[in-house]
Structure 1
Amino acid sequence: MKQKIFIYLFVFSILLILFQYVNSKRVFEDMNHKLDGYKAQAERYKDSISVLQDENLDLSHFNFERNEDAISYFENQGYNVAELVPLIKDELYKLNEEKGEHPIIPYASEEGKRMMINTIKLLNHKWIIADFSDGHYWGELFITYQINQDKQLTFSLVESFLYPFN
């Protein structure tokens, strides 16, 4: 009788071990499959990051902060570029506050509204691109700027464009 109990226990333990082996093998294969998926996804993300970095580099080509020659131009004149760039933008934004029509934007706005510069991008030590709008019409400006001996900023409109309203 003891022998039959031991045989039953032995068979039961063999079946339990076999069940554990098959189950753990299935779990292991599932984890490997998920890991392969994560590796492929990580590779796609790396490729995407590389593409976005290249695109960002292309977009920042005409950017004052990345233009060493423009930065050197101001540094050689004794200016602190970190303070100068916000100053230039602030002076251009201050023109939005002047009474009457905007001094740089050559287009009249709708009645009761005012043309204002919204976004400014410094291209180099002489040029600025800006966009403007009155909430209804919008356009873009190409502006040159200079800092004279008295450290006064002067802006000069070179070209402007008003988008047609549909």
Structure 2
Amino acid sequence: MRQKIFMYLFVFSILLVLFQYVNAKRVFEDMDRKLDGYKIQLERCKDSVAVLQDENLDLSHFNLERNEDAMSYFENQGYNVSELVLLIKDELYKLNEEKGEHPIIPYASEEGKRMMINTVKLLNHKWIIADFSDGRYWGELFITYEITEDKQLKFNLAESFLYPFN
């Protein structure tokens, strides 16, 4: 009888080990399949990031903060470029607060509204593009600027256009 108990225990242990092996193998294969899926997804994401970085580089080509020659121009005059960019943008936005018609925007707004500069992008050490709107009409400006010898900003409207209202 003792021999039969050991035989049953032995068969039971072999069945238990076999069950554990099959289960572990299935779990391992499932995890391996998931890992392969994640690897494919990671490659796709890396490709997307590379495309977005290239696109970002193209879009930031005309940008004062990425233009070494323009930055050198200001640095040679003793300016901190990051502070100067903020100052130039602030000065343009301050023009929105002046009474009457906007001093740079050459278009009249609807009655009761005011044309205001919304977005400003410094292209280099001489040029700015900006968009403006009064809530109904909108357009864009091409502005030249310079810093005079007495450290004053001087803006000059080079071109502008107003989008047609439909």
TM over 0.5: yes
TM tier relative to shorter chain = over 0.9
Shift of residue 12, structure 1, vs aligned partner = 1.0
Gaps of 5+ in 1: none
Kindly report structure 1 stretches of 4+ aligned residues shifted beyond 3 Å: none
Q: Which moved more, 1:79-88 or 1:110-119?
A: 79-88
Helix, strand or coil: the match of 1:141? strand
Matched, 1:150 2:145: no
TM-score, scaled to structure 2: 0.97
TM-score, scaled to structure 1: 0.97
Query: Quick one: distance in 2 between partners of 1:93 and 1:29?
Result: 61
User: Which residue is 2:62 aligned to?
Assistant: 62
CA RMSD of aligned residues (A): 0.9
Query: Quick one: distance in 1 between partners of 2:74 and 2:8?
Result: 92
Give the letter for the 2:42 counterpart.
A
Matched, 1:129 2:129: yes
User: Which residue is 1:51 aligned to?
Assistant: 51
Shift of residue 130, structure 1, vs aligned partner = 0.2
Sequence identity of aligned pairs in percent?
Answer: 86
Alignment of 1:5-84 (within 5 A): 5-84=5-84
Helix, strand or coil: the match of 2:143? strand
User: Which residue is 2:91 aligned to?
Assistant: 91
Helix, strand or coil: the match of 1:140? strand
Query: Quick one: distance in 2 between partners of 1:91 and 1:56?
Result: 27
Give the letter for the 2:164 counterpart.
P
Shift of residue 82, structure 1, vs aligned partner = 2.3
The aligned length equals: 166
